[in-house]
Every structure is written in C-alpha cells, then in structure tokens.
C-alpha cells in the first residue's frame, strides 16, 4: 500500500484504488511507481485486477500537466505512462476498469489498457493531448481504434470529442453502465464470473489476444520526444495550468462569498 494507491482483496478480485483526490487522480511518477509495485505483487497469484478510484465521481483526470510541462525528449523516450500501461496489459489474468467520472488523456489510456471497462453515468472519456501540443503516446493510437473503431478514434484524437457514458456504451468502449454506488460491486461480480474459468486458460487467452497488438510504440515515443521540446507544447500547457488556477480561484472566491 502507498499514499496514492490502495489495494484490497475481495475473493478473486484485487481492487486497485487510485487515491490522489486533490489532483483528481492525475498520474504523476509517484503514482506510476506505486502501480508498478502493485502489478509486480499481483502477478504472483491468480487474480482479476479491478482499477477504480477511491473518490466517488472521479477516475483519472489525465497525466499530471505540471510534470508534463517540465518533461523533455529524454523523458518522452522513457515512456513513463506507456510502460505502466503495457505492464497493466501484461498482467497474466483479466483486468477491469471501473470508471466513475472523467477518464481523460492518460486516464482514458489507463482504462483502455484494461481488458474490460464498466462505468457509471458520470463517466466521460476523451483524448485531449493534441490541444496541449503533444500526442497520446501511451497507447491510445492503437488501443482506442481497437475499442471504438478508427472513425470514432479519429474524432476523439483530432477534435477532442468527449464520449459521455451513453456514447461510450454505444461505441463499445464500456461493457455496461451501473449506478455509482453499485459500480464497484458490479466490477467485483464481473471478476467473480471471470474467475469461474480456468486461470491457465485465461492466461493463454490473454496471450493469444495480445498477438493482435500493432507495433506503434517506437513511433509514439519519437513523436512525443519531438513535441516535448517544442515551444508550442510549453505555451499550451502553461495556458492550461493558468486557466485551471483561475478557475480554482473563482471557485474559492464563490465558496468564500457563500460562507
């Protein structure tokens, strides 16, 4: 257990709770490192991973933009998030994302790295990276088309189109919708259903399905390395952070006035 990731075993399900509520579970290196540790430990005995947020109405707001602003080409080539999502994909047994809130950028890619996704009506999915002067280099270029088809993936990546829960269900991005307070139990129920199968057969099935993976990782890394050094990226991310701070100050002022 760490400060930012909380685990709990429920029968065949290992609940992996993302716990960075003040940052809307934005993925920083500390969370990435904690998740790597969880994945290494989880691979020692059969389990279905269920990735969720410990905070209602939240999944993962994306990568930590303040960290991304400071990353350079060498950081891009380290493939920090992509390596984590590949490790999640390579968990020997099936994985489930329980999405109760925004799954944006790296959050959407995290959900895509899971074998199955279920959601609450509060879920939203988007890949806004090009608006920040970078690319979705942690798997969206191939996992998203596999999940929703190439035309929808193009719309999400080119225009920033956001899929709400109903649209995500219609597109096949999520398998089912559940009330927020029933979502985690539904994920555990799905894990229990999966666990009625042979663990070894599930492991080999995952290996077979991974054979369809395209090899785009090197192109993603080099594209990101170029963009991480660009003035355009720095300007766009700085504007994003400034705007977020402005909205926070306005919320604080409104809350203070009401108090």
Catalytic residues: 109, 129
In contact, 120 and 178? CB cutoff 8 Å: yes
- Distance of CA 61 to CAs 18, 191, 202, 207, Å? 11, 25, 31, 30
Q: How many residues does the chain have?
A: 259
- C-alpha 234/C-alpha 159 separation (Å) is 20
Query: Three-state SS for 245?
Result: helix
> How crowded is residue 94: how many other Cβ atoms within 10 Å of its Cβ?
21
DSSP codes, 190-206: HHHHHTTS-HHHHHHHH
> Do the beta carbons of residue 30 and residue 4 sit within 8 Å?
yes
Neighbours of 239 (CB within 10 A): 13
């Amino acid at each position: 257990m760490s400060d930012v990731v909380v685990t709990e075993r429920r029968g065949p399900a290992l609940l992996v709770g993302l716990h960075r509520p003040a940052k809307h579970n934005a993925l920083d290196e500390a969370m990435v490192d904690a998740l790597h540790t969880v994945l290494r430990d989880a691979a020692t005995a059969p389990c279905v991973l269920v990735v969720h947020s410990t905070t209602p109405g939240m999944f993962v707001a994306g990568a930590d933009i303040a960290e991304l602003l400071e990353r350079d080409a060498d950081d891009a080539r380290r493939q920090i998030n992509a390596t984590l999502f590949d490790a999640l994909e390579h968990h020997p047994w099936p994985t489930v994302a329980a999405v109760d809130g925004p799954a944006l950028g790296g959050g959407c890619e995290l959900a895509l790295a899971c074998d199955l996704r279920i959601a609450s009506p509060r879920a939203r999915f988007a890949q806004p990276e090009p608006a920040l002067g970078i690319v979705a280099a942690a798997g969206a270029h191939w996992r998203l088309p596999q999940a929703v088809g190439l035309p929808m993936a193009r719309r999400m990546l080119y225009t920033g189109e956001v899929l709400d829960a109903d649209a995500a269900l219609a597109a096949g991005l999520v398998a089912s919708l559940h009330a927020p307070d029933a979502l985690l139990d539904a994920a555990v129920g799905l894990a229990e259903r999966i666990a009625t199968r042979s663990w070894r057969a599930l492991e080999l099935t995952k290996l077979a399905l991974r054979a369809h993976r395209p090899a785009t990782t090197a192109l993603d890394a080099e594209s990101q390395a170029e963009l991480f050094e660009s003035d355009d990226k720095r300007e766009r991310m700085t504007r994003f952070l400034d705007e977020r701070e402005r909205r926070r100050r306005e919320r604080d002022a409104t809350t203070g006035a009401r108090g």
